[in-house]
């Protein structure tokens, strides 16, 4: 059970870590660019402010030039506040003021001509390097022109520089903070991943355990946590539905074996007992015909049972393909089938209430199979009717379907028996004492035939009146449709 959880966790954790690695690499690249860009923007802003301040200073000193204010403490103050190296050059590129001190080694040095050419052309400069050997190590350098307030051209240039080490230190500090935050987020993500994987794997583990129970023939195992509204919850509910179906199928299989054993045992015991009695002379000569008739009856009963089981198996296995489909008159089928029961109805002194339409009622299907449906229903109706009572047979059309009703007056079927009446080998209590010839497959066969015809059947039983109603689709164009019952 732990293996599923661990596999899910490792898979999720691997995905999370890989995502963090990719995001971290992208962040380091983009973040470094952001820090450098931000530093360059800061250098440019500082250069602009210094340039503007010196322009204002020159403006307040008419007739002076940049050399006259070369010892302006403003330069040193800017450097102290920002941490940048600030120096001024005259129009020719010679350093005339530096923020480090009055004895700065940079005083008097000249900026390389290629940089000065860029400054003269554009009025601004942004570079990374030693500035043509000006610095011993690479610096980020930004420069701007200081224009004369009196329209005499460029008074000089201000250079703002920051060594790359300071930028990297700032980047390292920023990266350290981000790294700590990322590790915390990663730890939280892994914890959430573990518990999420454990929660996701729990029903899967239960399904695996339930499957092992199924393998041993125990279909009672179920998976909990069915209230989840995600794919796992849907899978859990489907699995439990499958388990219930398997359990029901197993119960039906055991019941089927028990019922078929019972149905076979009774006639076989009778046949064996009577045959032995005839052979050993226990049964007297004058009773031989009686018991031979009993043996014949039981043999025919076994034959009916086997034949019904074979027919049912073929229909359930082949479905509608086992039917010989054509178009036939359902009303005519009801009339022909009813004629076969005239003698049985007369023996029980039963009246038959027939309500069939005069016009043809065409339906698609297997006429012989539907005849068998009607035969079984009428046979049951006569068999379970009280003597001197009435059975009913009626046919009508409604909403594009043909409806057939077979009704008898006898004992009421208990409410609890109605949902089971179409199951194989099920017999209501009233039939066990009366239906000696039945094998308990008739109604199951009826339902199977109707299902193969896209039809359905229902049963009601109240106050001694039991009614079976089945429906078949009408042939399109065969008869008209009516929103109400037509007789």
pLDDT tens for 71-127 read 567 778 888 888 888 888 888 889 888 887 767 888 889 999 999 999 989 889 988
Task: Give the separation between CA 404 and CA 42, rounded to whole angstroms.
Answer: 94
Cα dihedral sign, 199-200-204-205: negative
Q: For tokens 């359902």, what's the residue?
A: 330
pLDDT of residue 317: 63
Judged by DSSP in three states, 387 sits in coil
Tell me how far apart the alpha carbons of residues 299 and 293 are, in angstroms, rounded to a whole number. 10
8 A C-beta contact, residue 402 and residue 330 = yes
Question: What secondary structure letter does DSSP report for 437?
Answer: S
3-state secondary structure at position 461: strand
> CA-based angle 43:44:48, to the nearest 5?
115
Tell me which range, 196-205, 396-405, 443-452, 469-478, is most confidently predicted by mean pLDDT.
396-405
Which 3 state secondary structure label does DSSP give 297?
Answer: helix
Q: H or E stretch including 448?
A: helix 442-452
- Is 118:133 a contact under the CB 8 Å cutoff? no
What confidence tens digit (pLDDT) does each residue in 28-77 have?
Answer: 666 666 777 777 888 888 888 888 887 887 777 776 666 666 556 777 88
Strand spans (E) along 288-350: 326-329
The larger pLDDT score, comparing residue 258 to residue 419, is at 419
pLDDT at 16 over 60: yes
Separation between Cα atoms, residue 404 and residue 418, nearest integer Å: 19
Concatenate the DSSP letters of all residues of 190-224 into one string: HHHHHHHHHHHHHHHHHHHHHHHHHHTT-------
For the question of whether the overall pTM of this predicted structure is more than 0.75, the answer is no
Neighbours of 206 (CB within 10 A): 18
- Sequence-ordered list of residues with C-beta below 8 angstroms from that of 200, at least 6 positions apart, any chain: 8, 232
Run of H or E residues at 63: none
The beta strand positions in 44-90, using DSSP E, are 85-89
Q: What is the CA radius of gyration of the chain?
A: 51
pLDDT of residue 29: 64
Average pLDDT, the chain: 79
What are the structure tokens assigned to 30, written together?
A: 């983009």
The SS3 of residue 29 is helix
Indicate the pLDDT class of residue 322, thresholds 50, 70 and 90. Answer: low
pLDDT digits (tens, 9 = 90+) for 173-209: 767 777 787 778 778 877 777 777 777 667 777 777 7
Nearest-angstrom CA–CA distance, 187 and 107: 55
Give rounded-to-5 percent helix, strand, coil for the chain.
Answer: 55, 15, 25
Cite the beta strand spans of 55-138 per DSSP E: 85-89, 95-98, 124-129
Residue 316: the pLDDT is: 62
Q: Which of 309, 231, 304 is nearest to 267 (CA)?
A: 304
pLDDT at residue 4 is higher than 60: no
- Return d(Cα 147, Cα 100) in angstroms, integer: 24
CA 163 to chain centre: 59
Q: What percent of the chain has pLDDT over 70?
A: 76
- 355 DSSP β-pair partners: 394
Higher pLDDT, 216 or 401: 401
Backbone angles phi, psi at 344, to 5 degrees: -65, -45
- Token couple for 349: 């002194």
Cα–Cα dist 384/411, whole Å: 8
Cα separation values, 296 from 39, 272, 275, 292, 376, Å? 110, 12, 11, 6, 22
């Amino acid at each position: 059970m732990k293996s599923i959880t661990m596999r899910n966790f490792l898979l999720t954790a691997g995905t999370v870590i890989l995502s963090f690695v990719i995001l971290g690499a992208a962040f380091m690249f983009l973040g470094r660019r952001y820090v450098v860009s931000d530093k360059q923007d800061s250098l440019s802003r500082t250069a602009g402010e210094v340039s503007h301040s010196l322009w204002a200073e020159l403006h307040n000193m008419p007739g002076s030039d940049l050399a006259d204010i070369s010892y302006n403490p403003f330069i040193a103050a800017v450097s102290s506040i920002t941490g940048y190296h600030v120096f001024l050059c005259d129009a020719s590129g010679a350093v005339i003021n530096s923020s480090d001190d009055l004895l700065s080694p940079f005083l008097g040095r000249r900026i390389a001509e290629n940089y000065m050419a860029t400054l003269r052309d554009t009025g601004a400069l942004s570079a990374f390097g030693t500035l043509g050997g000006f610095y011993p190590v690479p610096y980020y350098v930004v420069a701007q022109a200081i224009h004369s307030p009196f329209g005499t051209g460029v008074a000089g240039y201000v250079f703002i520089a920051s060594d790359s080490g300071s930028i990297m230190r700032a980047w390292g500090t920023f990266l350290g903070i981000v790294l700590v935050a990322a590790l915390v987020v990663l730890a939280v993500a892994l914890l959430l991943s573990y518990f999420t994987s454990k929660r996701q794997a729990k029903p899967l583990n239960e399904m695996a355990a339930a499957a092992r129970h199924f393998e041993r023939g125990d279909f009672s195992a179920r998976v909990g946590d069915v209230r989840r509204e995600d794919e796992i919850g849907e899978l859990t509910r489907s699995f439990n539905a499958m388990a219930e179906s398997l359990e029901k199928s197993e119960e039906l299989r055991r019941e089927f074996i028990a019922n078929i054993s019972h149905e076979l045992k009774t006639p076989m015991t009778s046949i064996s007992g009577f045959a032995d009695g005839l052979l050993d002379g226990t049964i007297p000569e004058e009773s031989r015909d009686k018991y031979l008739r009993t043996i014949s009856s039981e043999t025919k009963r076994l034959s009916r049972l086997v034949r019904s089981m074979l027919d049912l198996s073929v229909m359930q296995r082949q479905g509608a393909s086992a039917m010989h489909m054509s178009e036939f008159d359902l009303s005519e089928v009801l009339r022909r089938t009813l004629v076969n029961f005239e003698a049985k109805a007369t023996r029980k002194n039963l009246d038959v209430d027939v309500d069939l339409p005069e016009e043809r009622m065409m339906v698609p299907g297997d006429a012989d199979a539907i005849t068998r449906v009607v035969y079984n229903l009428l046979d049951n109706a006569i068999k379970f009717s009280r003597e001197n009572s009435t059975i009913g047979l009626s046919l009508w059309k409604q909403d594009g379907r043909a409806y057939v009703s077979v009704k008898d007056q006898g004992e009421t079927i208990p409410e609890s028996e109605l949902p089971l009446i179409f199951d194989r080998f099920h017999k209501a209590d009233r039939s066990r004492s009366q239906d000696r010839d039945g094998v308990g497959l008739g109604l199951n066969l009826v339902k199977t035939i109707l299902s193969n015809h896209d039809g359905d059947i229902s049963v009601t039983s109240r106050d001694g009146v039991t009614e079976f109603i089945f429906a078949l689709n009408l042939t399109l164009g065969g008869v008209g449709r009516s929103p109400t019952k037509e007789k």
